[in-house]
Structure 1
Amino acid sequence: MTVLKSPETAAPRGGMVPTKASKRYSSTQRAAYLFLLPWAIGFLCLSLGPILWSLYLSFTDFDLLTAPDWVGPANYVRMFTADPKFMISVRITFVYVLFSVPLKLAFALAVAMLLNRGIRGLPLYRALFYLPSLLGASVAIAVLWRQLFAGNGLVNHFLAQFGIEGPSWISNPNYSLWTLIILAVWQFGSPMIVFLAGLRQIPADVYEAARVDGAGRWRQFARITVPLLTPVIFFNAIIQTIDAFKTFTPAFIISNGSGNPVNSLLFYTLYLYQEAFGYFRMGYASALAWVLLIIIALFTAFAFLTSRYWVHYDE
């Protein structure tokens, strides 16, 4: 006996009948891809394309005026064997990162703990303390900083009130880098906001239990605040380290683009800029950029590999 199937239930020869749910899913998928298309085009054309082109240029001799000339690894060989300014810029940048990042994080955490006590006008204080992070990387602040620490600047006028004759902080190679480290610490607002958010997530009953057990403020800070705040510390350390490696504007403005005095402000990014737009050695500058990328990637990878030993998550 033959059973006739209705057109709605009959399956086509090639497979299953598409249901209404599957049709809705397909249309949703197409809509998602359509919305992702502008980002994909931007990523391929404005990010991935220039990245791959930069990698190619790092193996060429290119001056922006003639076609790139393939030289192989010559740029990298010259960088590590015959370029003393490269090692100077690496040393200056590493010293800057080594001192500016911990000092900024420590100062930001201290201010966040003060603001976490529930003082009046907290939104106003948060806005005021965050303001330097918005303005600190600007040209205007760099010019102001150069005037503050000049030989006849406001800092020396203040020291003169106490009978102290200060040097020209900017033009003295022993102090010039430290003026930029102070500028970096002054831009503590961004990590401070993140620390404040992390402190608000620590349960108050944990501190109450510690006080009942006789723990003082320092013991509470060392045994409760810091361990529970390690994920936030880790996040801030990664972000601030990457930003420190990319510092350019203050060094460029304060040293007038030269890195002087005596190359004491020759940051890595400033040297890269000199090679690219001062001497038009675009191929060599591309190689410098890729080395900087590798250095940042190694630091980030090391931080993630070691985080399992000191970063404590809820689980």
Structure 2
Amino acid sequence: MMVLSNSSWRLLQPFFLVGIPGLEESQHWIALPLCVLYTLALVGNVTILFIIWTDSSLHQPMYLFLAMLAGIDLVLASSTTPKALAILLVHDHEIGYTVCLIQMFLIHAFSSMESGILVAMALDRYVAICYPLHHSTILYPELIGRIGITVLVRGIVLLFPFPILLQRLVFCRTTVISHAYCEHMAVVKLACSDTTVNRAYGLAVALFVVGLDVLAISISYALILQAVLKVPGGEARRKAFSTCGSHICVILIFYVPGMFSFLTHRFGHHVPHHVHVLLATLYLLVPPSLNPLVYGVKTRQIRERVFRVFYIKR
């Protein structure tokens, strides 16, 4: 058998994704809810994009940011779920080295972008409530485009070193990833060379992105709350809180499971591994599938457009 160098070995050797370790006998049943959630994510986000794209009256800051969120959710759901379903249903466990790195980059980069869009949406809610008469002049279309480009560039620049740093590692023991997709730390743990830089950079990026974005969202809603409490009349306060309701739900859906998954991977040694992998898989699928439902139910303009589209078709 020909002996290969470490670099050649890394390029040729595919990874083996286990799926949900410890639940191999139940994986067909696990695939069913994943398939339902993925279908909801595709139909819901494509519908949101179609409605906002075709209705010029929805070309406003809130809906433009919502369209960006829908596009990001489509990438997040589609970068992991098809392969996860292939593993669970037809036992297609192998994933190429390069494909694994691309999948890992897409997962983490677009998670960062979604976090950034949630910050932009919090800013939009702050301006809409605190400066309603100047909303369109403060958040004009060119500024919204610049915000979207900034969020995109931040995700690419911060996460592009992930696959680059991984290429310097040597995987000489095993290429079996006890996960349903190529998560950064799950791949790093397989290396038999020094991973200090990879671990430090991954932790720094996670703390920077989540810490900065959560701080910005918290400040926005603190200012919103302060402004709303000064408004006389219960009806006016109710309407102000109602405009933020859907966004707050989306924030909780995204950050709570994400923080649990992040902390479990690094510090939750007593959490069963199959529980962590299952929750990590759902974390990338539940927000994309629920976000359109949340905005469809709680946002009157979106709800009316959806009913109008299906009514006309019928």
Please report the TM-score for the alignment, with normalisation by the length of structure 1. 0.25
Select the structure that is richer in helix: 2
TM-score by length of 2: 0.25
